[in-house]
Amino acid sequence: MRSAIESPRIDLRHDGVDDNEWCAALRALPTTSPRALVGGAPRVVVITPHPDDETLGVGGTIAAVAAAGVAVIVVSLTDGEAAPTTLLDLADVRRSELAAALDHLAPHAGVVRLGLPDGDIAAYVDDVTVGLQALLGPDDVVFAPLPDDGHPDHDASGVAGRAAAEAAGARCWLYPVWAWHWHQPAATPINRGVRVVLPHDAWSAKQRAIACYTSRLEGDAPVVPAPAMNRSRRPFEVLVPA
């Protein structure tokens, strides 16, 4: 059943909101560490609509909690096969990139692939919610995309992840990826979030993981443009309580 989710159009032909405009809002956020964010949870379940979103949005936090002994499960909803590229067998490429990225972030992470059609997660949001709920336990911590991140797949993933976590009694944190591009810093749910300060090792692991996504980064017109890369080099990540 299709959920009624509307997403604004993200025009990556322009740079979006300048990072300097985010500075005051980000300075006002409370800070925490990755380990404090998840508390005593034995497992973190990361919901990613496409391979690379987990790394761009919350890769440093994944690396830090994994290094602290927390189990990590990544639920990859699509293989990202609809991204604009001249590459053949893009789904295979992006699955391999995800595996390589996780080798840097959380080498023992489990991966659950749902194989939904890239660009159409909203058509399956109710089924995804039920499936995620069956996977989750009340002691888990869930990382899911912000439900108004701005890409239809991200929004649907966030809706499903938040609903599944609530039904399972699990804590849920929401991470932005594209919201940085178009949200207005003076009026955004990001302002309810926390700055998760990354240990240097975790930050470095995130940068190595990002570099694994060559299908997203290379060429004359990379799918992930330079401003998004700059945001991913911050020494912190922002997560919003669900």
Cα torsion for 144, 50, 211, 216, to the nearest 10°? -140
- Are 155 and 148 in contact by the 8 Å Cβ rule? The answer is yes
Sequence spans of domains, the chain: 19-28+43-241
Determine the average pLDDT of the residues in 131-143: 97
pLDDT band at 85 (very low <50, low <70, confident <90, very high): low
- Look at residue 222 in the predicted model and tell me its pLDDT: 62
pLDDT tens sequence across 35-67: 999 999 999 999 999 999 999 999 999 999 999
pLDDT band at 145 (very low <50, low <70, confident <90, very high): very high
- Look at residue 2 in the predicted model and tell me its pLDDT: 44
Higher pLDDT, 84 or 62: 62
Judged by DSSP in three states, 215 sits in: helix
Percent of the chain with pLDDT over 90: 77
**Among 73, 82, 158, residue whose Cα is nearest residue 116:** 82
> What mean pLDDT, rounded, does the chain reach?
91
Determine the average pLDDT of the residues in 89-97: 90
User: Homologous superfamily of 19-28+43-241 in CATH?
Assistant: LmbE-like (3.40.50.10320)
What are the Cα distances from residue 170, in Å, to 8, 104, 137, 197, 242? Answer: 29, 26, 6, 23, 11
pTM for this prediction: 0.93
- Look at residue 34 in the predicted model and tell me its pLDDT: 98
